[in-house]
Structure 1
């Protein structure tokens, strides 16, 4: 007979799991015994780093990522990162070790009390098998659900289950497959085509799912066929359209009134691969202007169901885009890409635009940027020229601590895929402190990544919000006296403090050494 652990390992292998991102505790050790050689264990020194690395790795590879966390405490440490993964719709499988079954009810030390509720509502599915024989099947369900629904899932397993002998029925779980199809019906396609062809002033609003599905080039063709302006959906976590294309209008502001105003000139708003909408700033107003109708196409039923207005079709955006391209006449109009203006300067310091101009000038055009420097968003979009799929990643729910581990995870993913693409993490000094152990992971994994720290000594985005909310000066907004290069040295990570953007430009002009490095530069305070 085979034990539950061996069968569970087979489930992982059969479903293409090649890495386990984890930070083990005592409850997890029995699961890790005799791990197959085809599965590599990626250690993170904090559970937020573990999930952040896995999130980016899964987004880049398009494959499910598997995390192993320590009971309830480890799960709690990972909650912020898990929130980001939920809103980026990352296929993430979270496993957590549970106390032995006989002690859970007594709330023994390290018992994960009410384990299935702990991760909700951040996961789409959560379970703790009622019997050891059900562990392999539940593990397979966690994987298939994460992939099929494109959402994180959570499985808690008592650690005395792993050594139980597995019966023949339980072993069948390792030989299953699940295929998901989301093709729209002919009637749905006809409805979408009719609406678009009848529109006199259509506009496209594209979400991060377009980039996730590799549809950027097809979205460009669709916009050009329509001659339609393109907005990126608000609260953007991936870039679905070249940001300097002449049809691109930018990222929609994240308030009700400004979105309505931006979309008012159009009679049909076609939202592809995005919720409607992820508002942020409280700027009340009409959801849609008079005479504007909205059509949403998404494969996320929950996003379609909760939208407050418009018509929704739950289907793969890919199929709808292809149908529209087939129905619209071909055009051969050439479209231009704008050239960024000269970067702004700041008195007594380096303007973030100068940093981004140097990156644009010196880094490969297909560089993948992991961005967690909210107060410099405006400067970033003014200077960058991003034309390739997978060029931009941002914490999907704004939970800080994403940037450093995501940069490491993305670099690891590109190494696994053999793409040769370089990864740059653009991280604010405030944000960096949420996930400093990721620096150790970068060194331990030896990934090629540049971590650019923009140091302004304050939470710049909060200062902007303080003005927006008219609250005046409040405590807790400044973080002076930090030198990330000295912290990096403690992790044995090569690091430099650059005096200005000119020094950064000179450094980037020469071939970079292999492995990770941290580059810190002092910047002036700017607004998002």
Structure 2
């Protein structure tokens, strides 16, 4: 008779999930013993890093990732990263060990007494199988739920004594049958809905498109580009976008909408119809009151997420597959005349008097050194406008940023992304404050020789918080500066090769050389000036 462990491994094989991101504890060892040669285990030194790596891996590879955590303490340590994965809509199965069933009632050491409640509401589904025999089918169900739009993490609590339990032939077959099921998610809108929306676009005096993360994530990039070029409409990026979903050098691209109600509403003045594709309406922070839309402006949201449609404060919504919907729109809309390109003036900032690079000067040098097919991971939140100005990303699946608003994504996600897309160079641009939220990811990169190029923009402060302090009239708040950090010394301790760039030319060469090699990670520290964002 086969065991639960053997059946679970076959469920994972059937779903193509053979990489495990984990930090093992005693309750996980029964799952991991006699670890099979066709699986890969990627060790992280802290659970939030483990989940962050799995997040980047899933997003870069367009697969479902698997995480293995240590019962309640490990799950608790990982919660911030799981929240980020939910915001990123990452298909991820998070497993955690559990005490043996015989000692759960007495809540023996390392019992998780509320295992399915602890990760909520960060996960789409949380479950602890009632019997050992149910674990393989539960895992198969977890994968299906994670892969159902909107994608997101799910959680399974697995008692440690389940894995050696023997299954009957019928129980084993049930788990494998569940794993073999394939569900297609491609809901198309009815013809009348498409015709109605096409008519609204055609009748609009001045329509505009707003594109969000799910355009890139769902594979609708080409369809949205075709829609924009057929209609000649201007295109904005939704506020606080975590992906690039339209070529940022395209003549119809207008930039990023502000993440605040009043300023965003003013940006849309002059448009009588706003068509939002694959984004929430809208991702706001900070709170600056005003009208969500200008007077007389209508809005239509195209989304795969029914909850996203329900919580939008204004406008109508169509819940359907984005690529199918947009392609159907393209077929119904007449070709427009040549669009008027947006004026674009590239702003250059000189070096400071002491030779320190401005963020834009540093990011321009980084972009000049990075290969054309770079997969960018960004966690320098105060420098996002300069990043996009310098990189002008124009291809899908080329940019990752955390949609959750919390730090700790960048360094870990970059390692996972490189593992998930080994054919592409990964360059991680990250602040000196941000990197220390997941600095243990450097050890994993070094230990597994993952050739990520980390470029740390160092200004010895949480610059984004200085900006918020201005907006919130909270000047004088403590804890916004972080002097005394030596990220190269830390990285050296983890086994990462390091450099400190002294100028733009040297920085470009260091990035070019780092991205061209495959011998392991490289970290480049770049002192920069501080420039606060603006709305």
Short-chain TM bin: over 0.9
Distance, in Å, in 2 between the alignment partners of 1:19 and 1:393 is 21
Unaligned 5+ runs, structure 2: none
The Cα of 1:334 is off from its aligned counterpart by 8.3
The Cα of 1:333 is off from its aligned counterpart by 4.3
The Cα of 1:287 is off from its aligned counterpart by 1.9
The Cα of 1:36 is off from its aligned counterpart by 3.3
Distance, in Å, in 2 between the alignment partners of 1:34 and 1:271 is 50
Q: CA contact under 8 A between 2:510 and 2:524: conserved in structure 1? A: no
CA deviations over 1:97-138 (Å, ceiling 9, x no partner): 011112222221111121111111000111011111211111
Unaligned 5+ runs, structure 1: none
Residues 1:393 and 1:501: Cα distance change in structure 2 (over 3 Å): same
Please give the secondary structure, in 1, of the residue aligned with 2:421. helix
Please give the secondary structure, in 2, of the residue aligned with 1:234. coil
Residues 1:509 and 1:2: Cα distance change in structure 2 (over 3 Å): closer
Distance, in Å, in 1 between the alignment partners of 2:432 and 2:530 is 12
Please give the secondary structure, in 2, of the residue aligned with 1:116. coil
Q: CA contact under 8 A between 1:133 and 1:166: conserved in structure 2? A: yes
Residues 1:462 and 1:366: Cα distance change in structure 2 (over 3 Å): same
The Cα of 1:214 is off from its aligned counterpart by 2.9
Structure 1, 334-343 or 272-281: larger mean CA deviation = 334-343
The Cα of 1:510 is off from its aligned counterpart by 4.9
Please give the secondary structure, in 2, of the residue aligned with 1:180. coil
Structure 1, 187-196 or 226-235: larger mean CA deviation = 187-196
Distance, in Å, in 1 between the alignment partners of 2:357 and 2:324 is 46
User: 1:201-280, aligned counterparts within 5 Å?
Assistant: 201-280=206-285
How many residues are paired up? 524
Distance, in Å, in 1 between the alignment partners of 2:177 and 2:226 is 41
The Cα of 1:247 is off from its aligned counterpart by 1.4
Question: Who is 2:527 aligned against?
Answer: 522
The Cα of 1:483 is off from its aligned counterpart by 0.9
Question: Who is 2:322 aligned against?
Answer: 317
CA deviations over 1:3-26 (Å, ceiling 9, x no partner): 111111111111110211111101
Distance, in Å, in 2 between the alignment partners of 1:508 and 1:134 is 50
The Cα of 1:249 is off from its aligned counterpart by 1.5
Please give the secondary structure, in 2, of the residue aligned with 1:433. helix
Residues 1:475 and 1:12: Cα distance change in structure 2 (over 3 Å): same
CA deviations over 1:311-332 (Å, ceiling 9, x no partner): 1111011011101111123468
The Cα of 1:382 is off from its aligned counterpart by 2.5
Please give the secondary structure, in 2, of the residue aligned with 1:294. strand
Q: CA contact under 8 A between 1:14 and 1:175: conserved in structure 2? A: no
1:347 maps to 2:353: yes
Distance, in Å, in 2 between the alignment partners of 1:510 and 1:160 is 50
Normalised to the residue count of structure 1, the TM-score between the two structures is 0.96
Deviant stretches of 4+, over 6 Å: 334-337
Backbone CA RMSD of aligned residues: 1.8
1:362 maps to 2:369: yes
Distance, in Å, in 1 between the alignment partners of 2:78 and 2:105 is 24
The Cα of 1:53 is off from its aligned counterpart by 0.8
2:200 counterpart (190, 195, 208): 195
The Cα of 1:478 is off from its aligned counterpart by 0.9
Normalised to the residue count of structure 2, the TM-score between the two structures is 0.94
Q: CA contact under 8 A between 2:116 and 2:157: conserved in structure 1? A: yes
Distance, in Å, in 2 between the alignment partners of 1:174 and 1:40 is 21
Q: CA contact under 8 A between 2:20 and 2:40: conserved in structure 1? A: yes
Q: CA contact under 8 A between 1:65 and 1:91: conserved in structure 2? A: yes
